[in-house]
A and B are shown apart, each in its own frame.
Chain A
Amino acid sequence: AQSVTQLGSHVSVSEGALVLLRCNYSSSVPPYLFWYVQYPNQGLQLLLKYTTGATLVKGINGFEAEFKKSETSFHLTKPSAHMSDAAEYFCALNTGGFKTIFGAGTRLFVKA
């Protein structure tokens, strides 16, 4: 069965510090992996996605993620946090077809 595990329901960083949000997945077939962000009172929007090809994926707002098959991970990073990055982040998995499995989410807090 496919699953997505996000390590840490809450992450707090200082403004300007590195952001690292962890995501591990389980899939019996090659996965498609996504990071979505949800700002307060809004729906989800795509940050980045991995389908095939280059394992380091760059997204919007300076975020990037690296697909590591050997570690079954797809961690999200940003070199320098900004106050506007405070939001809920969801890692998601799709293994073909339309159904997408979402992780539990990680709320990012950014301290001034």
Chain B
Amino acid sequence: SAVISQKPSRDICQRGTSLTIQCQVDSQVTMMFWYRQQPGQSLTLIATANQGSEATYESGFVIDKFPISRPNLTFSTLTVSNMSPEDSSIYLCSAPPGTSGSGETQYFGPGTRLLVL
């Protein structure tokens, strides 16, 4: 298993500003994922963060808006840039502990609850 922590747990931000969310895993993992969960909605994958390479973004998400860093095998950051009220969501990071992918359980952080005014 993996224990994942996120900082901050919540924040209230002004539009036009940026927020960086940190995700720390207690063991080395190959892949880390960033999800957005809008109010009352399911999870939408933003991007996959690989150590040592550029993040892979899903359709509808771009690097300029959601830059991601993955400096090592236990840590990643997601920045929400030039925020607007539409960015108000829960942002979750997750990681599967293994390397095969298929059928792997994903472990989730507790989420960062962001409110943009």
A contacts, CB < 8 Å to B: 32, 34, 36, 41-46, 49, 51, 90, 94, 96-100, 102-105
Contact = CB atoms under 8 A, between A and B. Distances in A.
B96 to A, nearest CB: 6
Given A94-B103, A98-B33, 12 more contacts: A41-B111, A43-B4, A44-B106, A49-B103, A90-B42, A94-B104, A96-B101, A96-B102, A97-B101, A97-B102, A99-B48, A104-B42
Given A43-B4, A43-B110, A45-B108, A98 B42 contact: no
By size class, the interface of chain B is 20 to 34
Contacts, number: 54
A100 B106 CA distance: 9
Interface string B78-113: 000000000000001010100001111111111101
B59 interface: no
Contact of B101 (A51, A90, A98, A102): A98
Contacts of B43: 44, 90, 102
A32 B109 contact: no
B53 interface: no
B112 to A, nearest CB: 10
